[in-house]
Structures are given as structure tokens and as C-alpha cells.
Amino acid sequence: MVRNQANVGLVLATLSALGQLNGRVVDCAGGYGILVRLLRDRGIDALWSDPYCKNLLAVGFEHKAEKAELVTSFEAFEHFVDPILEAEKLFAIAPNLLISTTLIATPAPAPDAWWYYGLDHGQHIGFFRLQTLQVLAKKFNKHLVTDGVGCHLFTDKPLSSMQWNLNVRIARRLPFLYGRRLESKVWKDFEKMSSRT
């Protein structure tokens, strides 16, 4: 839950930096729909997508084929067999892609020296360095902005890395600063879902 709450601030700061605070967000690999529900509660038009998990908290707000301004994919790239193919699918939804994946050090740590390998579950099959993300950005003609650790933004327009990182730090601690002009979708979502029954 804490990670989802932190990601609300990350998404708000990113939309603000893109000048798209009223834009649509599609959360791919959205799990149970926690982030989508939190974003909608803040006033963001967020939609859910995840072929491997049941949507429990954002029912009725599934992504069908809508275009968006931002697509997110948190803690998913390390699970992809073909990250280029997956990135292509994500960029078909939105021109801007926000991901989280922890960068691997150079040289690569021993298997027992880095928790992110996930040896206990075996689901992490791909790891990224900054250079890998730069190649990915170049392939899709995008600008890369990163915190150099775990949060990475691919965007059509160049953004100041220093400004984006500062905004992210502020928004993670004080997300209400970035969404104070937005109107929560709680009541409208309730009305929409009530009318479906």
C-alpha cells in the first residue's frame, strides 16, 4: 500500500511536469487496481490494465482501447521476456511511459548479494542499466528522465531531470500540492457504478 501511495505522488508530479494534469493515465500491470482507485480518488482519469491479475478495486474503469497521455508500468519490466515488444505496446497507448525497475549495478552483484534478483520467487528475469534504458529511449525516439535508481520516464518532450526529480520528491511527501485543483472522482464513479446495477 505504501508503494501505491508513493506512486500517486510520482504520477501527479509527472503529469504536472508534462503539462497534462487533466490527462488520462493507464496503469498497465495494475494488479488489484489500488493505484487506479487512488488516482481516481485524487481526480485523475485513470484506467486499469493487467492480463495476469483480477481487478478488485477499479472495477468499471478497465482500459479498453482508449488513448492516454501517460501509461505507467510499475515493477513490471523486470518480468518481461521481450521488453522492446512490451514497450511498443505501451507506447501505442500513450506517448509518455513511466516505469519503475531497480537498476542493476556494474559489475552485476553476486546472486546472493542483491535482493532484487528475487531468487525466492524467480519472477525477475530481466535487469536494466541506465545504458539499456537509453537504448530503449533511442529506439522509440523518446527522451529519458530518470532518478538513476528505480523511477524512469520516457517522454516525447525533453524535461529537466533535476526539476522532475525535485517534483517527484515533493509530490511523494505532499501529493495534495499537485492535485489541489483536481476534483475527486469518488462521487461520479459511485454514481456511474450505481447506475450499472
Residue 13 placed within a domain:
yes
Per-residue cell: 9: 505522488
What does the pLDDT look like over 65-88, one tens digit per residue? 999 999 999 998 887 889 999 999
Residue 152 placed within a domain:
no
Residue 101 placed within a domain:
yes
Q: Say which CATH number the domain at 75 has.
A: 3.40.50.150
pLDDT of residue 104: 87
Contact of 50 with 89, CB cutoff 8 Å: no
Residue 53 placed within a domain:
yes
Domain range holding 93?
1-121
Contacts of 36 (CB under 8 A, 6+ apart): 27, 30, 46, 47, 48, 57, 58, 61
Residue 40 placed within a domain:
yes
CA distance 129 to 137: 13
Residue 75 placed within a domain:
yes
Residue 187 placed within a domain:
no
Examine the pLDDT at 194 and tell me if it is beyond 60.
Answer: yes
> H or E segment at 151?
strand 151-155
Per-residue cell: 150: 528505480
Residue 27 placed within a domain:
yes
Structurally, the chain folds into a number of domains equal to 1
SS (H, E, C) 53-69: CCCCCCCCCECCCCCCC
What does the pLDDT look like over 89-139, one tens digit per residue? 999 999 999 999 989 888 988 888 877 778 777 787 788 899 999 999 999
